[in-house]
């Protein structure tokens, strides 16, 4: 075994010409760390097991880590996912092979919450329509009274999920004087009370929200949790916003209610199929604002995600449990504990 702690960087962090995909991801602290070697992987998707045989840690962008990606050496101890979504990683395979999966909640909390507010303000202010009117000259100015915006004072802001991002969204929305409701079976009642959030049932959330943000992870339980039946409960004046994962919403059902003007509009940064099909009927609608799963992409977001990933893999090198472990069961497994003990002896 190498005397160094070896960190793999998934190949999609580099462009074909070898330059960084995201210049704000600073690998300097990793390069300077004592006892650490790092290397970029080839662009295999899903990752191949043979690529990872000689590595202790992996920093992963968008490539999939599947059961067949698990190296036979048993050396890999941690996967640090760049972001908070982990539907591209087979979590049971990680746990079964004593690999901790880490995400970066601190890096995305504020940027994604800001993205939600961006959608809220753009939708209720009819930003896209008014942009088009302004470009039309006199006819557009003459028609502006037909596209009145919607004030936020007293409106009900709902959230499907009150985790890291959902809570931050409510904090940022305070100056708008809205009422807060949320549905989350795992919500901390104390956090909800501190933020002034009324915890409600799932159907009540859809029926009462004027603005409904999807802030839950994609799991088998949340796949298509936003379906035709629940969309039918929403007010005709309500808006829905999704910056989480596309398949949480049944996109065909959403398209139908938008086409039929059963709800006022939607703001979508994520889709069931990514990249999207340019001919999707969703994109022919004027009551939806879309972004290519990148609305939160800012210099600060990517710097924060990168710093959190680097911190996590370096903590594991010292034999420490990093923040943001998804598969908490792995922390009790003897195999993972032995890996940490070994790192502590070598590098701690």
For 96, the token pair is 């079964």
Q: What is the CATH number of the domain that holds 203?
A: 3.40.50.720
Domain boundary (290, 308, 334) is at: 290
Q: What angle do CA 184, 186, 191 make, to 5 degrees?
A: 85
Residue 2: what pLDDT? 62
Please check whether residues 273 and 187 belong to one and the same domain: yes
Cis peptide bond upstream of 169, omega within 30: no
Please check whether residues 51 and 65 belong to one and the same domain: yes
Q: Where are the beta strands (DSSP E) in the chain?
A: 5-9, 36-40, 57-60, 78-81, 100-102, 156-160, 179-183, 197-199, 211-214, 239-242, 265-268, 288-290
Alpha-carbon span 312 to 306, nearest angstrom: 10
Please tell me which residue in 245, 323, 328, 333 is annotated as part of the active site. 245
For 263, the token pair is 């709800």
Please check whether residues 118 and 164 belong to one and the same domain: yes
Please check whether residues 138 and 264 belong to one and the same domain: yes
Please check whether residues 89 and 128 belong to one and the same domain: no
Residue 312: what pLDDT? 98
Please check whether residues 118 and 141 belong to one and the same domain: yes
Please check whether residues 142 and 118 belong to one and the same domain: yes
Residue 3: what pLDDT? 84
Domain boundary (246, 266, 290) is at: 290
Residue 1: what pLDDT? 52
Q: What angle do CA 68, 302, 42 make, to 5 degrees?
A: 35
135 is catalytic: no
Burial label for 92, CB within 10 Å (0-12, 13-18, 19+), is exposed
Sheet holding 36-40, edge to edge: 36-40, 5-9, 57-60, 78-81, 100-102
For 170, the token pair is 């409510």
Please check whether residues 285 and 321 belong to one and the same domain: no
Residue 348: what pLDDT? 78
Please check whether residues 311 and 252 belong to one and the same domain: no
Alpha-carbon span 255 to 205, nearest angstrom: 20
Domain count, the chain: 2
Cis peptide bond upstream of 203, omega within 30: no
274 is catalytic: yes
Q: Which residues of 151-190 are buried (b: 16+ CB within 10 A; e: fewer)?
A: ebeebbbbbbbbbbbbbbbbeebeebebebbbbbeebeee
Please check whether residues 176 and 214 belong to one and the same domain: yes
Please tell me which residue in 194, 274, 328, 341 is annotated as part of the active site. 274
Return the bridge partners of 213, or none. Answer: 159, 241
Residue 67: what pLDDT? 98
Q: What is the mean pLDDT of each run of 10 residues along the chain (348 residues)?
A: 88 95 96 96 96 98 97 98 94 98 94 98 97 97 97 98 96 98 96 97 98 95 98 98 98 98 98 97 97 96 96 98 97 98 94
Please check whether residues 240 and 332 belong to one and the same domain: no
Please check whether residues 200 and 278 belong to one and the same domain: yes
Name the nearest CA neighbour of 286 among 120, 117, 115, 132: 132
Domain boundary (269, 290, 311) is at: 290
Q: What range defines the domain where residue 333 resides? A: 5-103+299-347
Q: What is the dihedral of CA 82, 84, 90, 93, to 10 degrees?
A: 90
Please tell me which residue in 6, 230, 293, 315 is annotated as part of the active site. 293
């Amino acid at each position: 075994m190498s005397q160094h702690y070896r960190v793999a960087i998934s190949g999609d962090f580099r462009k074909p010409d070898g330059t960084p995909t995201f210049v704000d991801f600073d690998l300097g602290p990793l390069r300077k760390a004592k006892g650490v070697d790092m290397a970029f992987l080839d662009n295999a998707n899903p990752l191949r097991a043979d690529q990872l045989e000689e590595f202790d840690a992996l920093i992963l962008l968008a490539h999939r880590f599947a059961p067949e990606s698990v190296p036979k050496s048993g050396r890999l101890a941690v996967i640090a996912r760049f972001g908070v979504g982990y539907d591209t990683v087979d979590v049971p395979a990680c746990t079964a092979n004593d690999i901790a999966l880490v995400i970066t909640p601190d890096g995305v909390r504020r940027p994604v919450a800001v993205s939600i507010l961006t959608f809220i303000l753009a939708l209720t202010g009819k930003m896209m329509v008014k942009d088009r009117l302004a470009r039309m000259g006199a006819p557009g100015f003459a028609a502006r009274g037909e596209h009145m915006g919607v004030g936020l004072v007293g409106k009900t802001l709902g959230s499907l999920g009150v985790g890291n991002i959902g809570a931050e969204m409510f904090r940022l929305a305070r100056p708008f004087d809205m009422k807060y409701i949320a549905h989350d079976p795992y919500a901390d009642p104390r956090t909800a009370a501190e933020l002034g959030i009324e915890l409600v049932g799932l159907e009540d959330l859809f029926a009462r929200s004027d603005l409904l943000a999807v802030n839950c992870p994609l799991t088998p339980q949340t796949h298509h949790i936003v379906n035709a039946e629940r969309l039918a409960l929403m007010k005709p004046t309500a808006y829905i916003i999704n910056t989480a994962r596309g398949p949480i919403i049944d996109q065909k059902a959403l398209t139908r209610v938008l086409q039929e003007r059963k709800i006022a509009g939607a703001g979508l940064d994520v889709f069931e199929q990514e990249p999207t099909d340019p001919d999707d009927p969703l994109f022919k609608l004027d009551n939806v604002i879309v972004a290519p799963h990148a609305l939160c992409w800012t210099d600060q977001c990517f710097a924060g995600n990168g710093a959190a990933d680097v911190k996590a893999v370096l903590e594991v090198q010292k034999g420490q449990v990093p923040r943001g472990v998804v598969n908490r069961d792995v922390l009790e497994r003897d195999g993972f504990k032995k890996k940490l003990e070994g790192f502590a002896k070598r590098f701690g």
